[in-house]
Amino acid sequence: MFNKKLKKLNNISTIFSIKDLENLSGIKAHTIRIWEKRYNILEPLRTDSNIRYYDTKNLQKLLNVTVLYNNGLKISKIAKLEEDELEVKVREYASKAANVENSLSPLKLAMLNFDLELFEQTYNRLIAENTFRTVFIEVFIPFLHNIGLDWQSNSITPAHEHFISNLINQKLLINIERVQQEPVKHREKIFVLFLPMNEIHSLGLLYLHYELLLKGYHSIYLGESVPIDNLKTFSGKYPNVTFVSYFTVKPDPDYVMDYLVEFKKEIELDDTCDFWVLGRRTKGLELPEDFKNMRIFENIKHLLEKI
């Protein structure tokens, strides 16, 4: 009965369990309880049946506390700060002390509050001390994976995810525009990047496009929902083509293997034509021995090592 009621609570995006707080903040539930009891960091609410839960105000305060705590401030000192002082301190650290390890909480705060200024402060400090590659792989990818899990558990809404994803997408496009001004160095191979039908999650594939351009390759980015038969043009036009796709939510789980079979049938894969694929839908998938020149990569890092 408790789990059933708690699940009902979790389906409301403005109400959170302590497990939700743990997932969103990275602070263990046991530690949150200690902070709550010893320092009055949070003020939990209770249902009529005495189930503890937390509202958006509690979540935001915990994320603010987490930013300062992860930057070395003692919890006893943080607990003495008034609400407005706490928020000021967080913005100071976001603009002066953002780093790869401690950037998730400011990004989550920016997402939950639709706070463009906080996102820009955090990003600008990160990019001042790191390459865009480091920021994307070490910060953005773990962050997006994390909020994907939060969205699935109803801890955040799709609106939050769209807001922050679009901001990250803007930064990616800016960096792509910069590198594509450079001349192509490696013309012996063409990379054609596309997403299958009804797949709209493009950030991972866009980042691969950025990396290929950065390395001086001829990369052609086609984007979302590309029919397989449209790709025949490239295998006939160029002597050495590598198709690359990213399966996040499509094809449907039961159709992934059928899709690969169809691709193999439609596009003649040989020593001059390859198909590389990665993404959540490919996890645990094993290709038959006769699927030559087709390869599944575990993640972006592994694919980049092959290039």
Report pLDDT for 8. Answer: 36
CB 166 within 8 A of CB 219: no
Please indicate, yes or no, whether residues 170 and 212 belong to a single structural domain of this protein. no
Please indicate, yes or no, whether residues 208 and 145 belong to a single structural domain of this protein. no
| Nearby residues of 210 by Cβ (< 8 Å), 6 or more positions away | 132, 172, 175, 176, 179
* Local structure of residue 38 (DSSP, 8 states): H
Q: Single out the residue in 142, 161, 176 at which a domain terminates.
A: 176
239 preceded by a cis bond (ω within 30 of 0): no
Report pLDDT for 2. Answer: 34
Report pLDDT for 220. Answer: 96
Report pLDDT for 12. Answer: 37
Report pLDDT for 156. Answer: 65
Q: Pull the structure tokens for residue 127.
A: 């990019």
Q: 141 lies in which domain range?
A: 2-176
Please indicate, yes or no, whether residues 245 and 113 belong to a single structural domain of this protein. no
Kindly report each contact of residues 21-25 with a partner whose C-beta sits within 8 Å and lies 24 or more positions away, as own/partner: 21/54, 21/58, 21/59, 21/62, 23/146, 23/149, 23/150, 23/153, 23/155, 24/59, 24/62, 24/63, 24/108, 24/150, 24/155, 24/156, 25/59, 25/62, 25/63, 25/66, 25/105, 25/108
Please indicate, yes or no, whether residues 50 and 117 belong to a single structural domain of this protein. yes
Question: How far apart are the C-alpha atoms of 91 and 86, rounded to whole Å?
Answer: 9
- Parallel, antiparallel, or unpaired: how do β-strands 52-55 and 217-223 relate? unpaired
Please indicate, yes or no, whether residues 127 and 197 belong to a single structural domain of this protein. no
Please indicate, yes or no, whether residues 127 and 205 belong to a single structural domain of this protein. no
Question: How far apart are the C-alpha atoms of 237 and 241, rounded to whole Å?
Answer: 9
**How many CB atoms lie under 10 A from the CB of residue 218?**
16
Give the domain CATH number at 232. 3.40.50.280
- Parallel, antiparallel, or unpaired: how do β-strands 294-297 and 273-278 relate? parallel
In 3D, which of 164, 172, 240, 180 has the Cα closest to residue 216? 180
Q: Would you give per-residue pLDDT tens digits along the chain (307 residues)?
A: 334 333 333 333 567 888 888 877 888 999 999 999 999 999 888 888 888 888 888 888 888 888 888 878 899 999 999 888 887 887 776 655 455 666 777 888 888 888 899 899 889 989 988 999 999 988 998 888 777 655 444 556 778 888 999 999 999 999 999 999 989 998 888 999 999 999 988 999 999 999 999 999 999 999 999 999 999 889 878 889 999 999 988 999 899 999 999 999 899 888 889 999 999 899 888 898 888 889 999 988 889 888 8
Tell me, what amino acid is at 48? D
Please indicate, yes or no, whether residues 99 and 188 belong to a single structural domain of this protein. no
How many domains, the chain?
Answer: 2
Cα-Cα-Cα-Cα dihedral sign, residues 135, 16, 11, 6: positive
In 3D, which of 236, 256, 237 has the Cα closest to residue 247? 256
Q: Single out the residue in 176, 206, 230 at which a domain terminates.
A: 176
For the chain, the maximum distance between any two Cα atoms, rounded to a whole number of angstroms, is 70
Question: How far apart are the C-alpha atoms of 89 and 78, rounded to whole Å?
Answer: 10
Report pLDDT for 10. Answer: 38
Question: How far apart are the C-alpha atoms of 63 and 22, rounded to whole Å?
Answer: 10
Please indicate, yes or no, whether residues 206 and 109 belong to a single structural domain of this protein. no
Please indicate, yes or no, whether residues 170 and 49 belong to a single structural domain of this protein. yes
Please indicate, yes or no, whether residues 189 and 100 belong to a single structural domain of this protein. no
Return the half-sphere exposure (C-beta side, CA atoms, 13 A cut-off) of residue 149. 10
Please indicate, yes or no, whether residues 16 and 58 belong to a single structural domain of this protein. yes
Please indicate, yes or no, whether residues 91 and 155 belong to a single structural domain of this protein. yes
Give the domain CATH number at 97. 1.10.1660.10
Q: Pull the structure tokens for residue 122.
A: 């955090």
Helix runs in 180-283, H state only: 203-214, 232-237, 256-266
Q: Single out the residue in 176, 199, 216 at which a domain terminates.
A: 176
